[in-house]
A and B are shown apart, each in its own frame.
Chain A
Amino acid sequence: MKENQVIDQLATIKTMMDKSSRFVSLSGLSGFLAGVYAIVGSICTQYILDSTEIIHVSLRDKSFLLMVGIAISVCVLSIFSAYILSRRKAKKRNDQIWNSTSKRLLINFCIPLFTGGAVGISILIQGYYGLIAPITLIFYGLALIQASKYTLETLRSLGILFVVLGIIALQFPGYGLYFWTVGFGFFHIVYGLFMYWNFDRPAQQ
């Protein structure tokens, strides 16, 4: 058997294995954008915190609700961008955006994510404010580690970074916003660009 035949066979095998079990059309650019949104969001949040005179923002303050609004907007914008860009990437590769691989990805990503959300809300209600940022970072990292099995494997190391960041953040209550900025902002930007550079760019002929 000639060498290029062997290479062809191996390539076919790998492609089919990935295509049937992983959602490969996840857009790296959307990760970059999510990071940008997060940075903008944290700048706005810092501005709100700086302009308020109250030392401890309570749950019923207008400024607190505004910050929650910013966080939610960042999330919604990121999800929307991910959907639009991934759909475009899927079309380019003649792949589907909505099939069994993407459904599996979504379910497995959401389980740790929603768990983290539930834990975060409970902590918020109980008043352990210093734990919110670390806990959300850790659960998001775990969600990424899970998801990496059903989409691009690169997400695995990103997830591990988030977990480590979250664990470090546990030691610095009160600096949650900074850790969030580093994680949801800079990590996403770096990884998004890395993934775009390696996977999404139109192939150089």
Chain B
Amino acid sequence: MKNVIFHINKVFDNRIRLGIMSVLMVNESIDFTNLKELLEVTDGNLASHIKALEQEQLIDVIKQFVGKKPNTRYVATELGKNSFRQHLNALEQLINQSK
């Protein structure tokens, strides 16, 4: 039981952050607009959660130019992916334990 609690990551205790990490687990990268559409949140809300994840080094921000337009994409870092996987495993263990 101790082991499981250690791996439940407080950073992920938020629907939007879970959503961001989930998307980045199954997609190479995603840009701000598509992420916003998927999660159905406001610009500001999304930006603040992205900042939080970025500060924990769970995602990376890639700023490029597509022609003349600025394009911001996000990727999950190795740390981000591993942390998320651990979180997922811990969640599943919790479910199995309470059965």
Q: Indicate, yes or no, whether A interacts with B.
A: yes
**Interface membership of A118, Cβ < 8 A:** no
Interface residues contributed by chain B, number (CB under 8 Å): 20
Further contacts, 6 of them, CB under 8 A, given A6-B91, A7-B95, A10-B88:
A9-B91, A13-B18, A14-B22, A16-B22, A17-B23, A20-B22
**Interface membership of B79, Cβ < 8 A:** no
**Interface membership of A12, Cβ < 8 A:** yes
**Interface membership of B15, Cβ < 8 A:** yes
15 contacts between A and B (CB under 8 A): A3-B98, A7-B95, A9-B12, A9-B18, A10-B95, A12-B19, A13-B88, A16-B18, A19-B38, A20-B22, A20-B23, A20-B26, A20-B27, A21-B26, A100-B34
**Closest B residue to A5 using CB positions:** B13
Binding site for A on B (CB under 8 A): 8, 12, 15, 18-19, 22-23, 25-27, 30, 34, 38-39, 88, 91-92, 94-95, 98
What is the CB-to-nearest-CB distance from B85 to chain A, in angstroms, rounded to a whole number? 11
* Option from A1, A3, A13, A16 in Cβ contact (under 8 Å) with B38: A16
| Distance, CA A17 to CA B84, complexed state (A) | 13
Determine chain A's interface SS by DSSP, over half rule. Answer: helix
Mark each residue of chain A from 164 to 189: 1 if its CB lies under 8 Å from any CB of chain B, else 0: 00000000000000000000000000
**Closest B residue to A21 using CB positions:** B26
3 cross-chain pairs, A with B, having the tightest CB-CB distances, nearest first: A16-B22, A20-B23, A16-B19
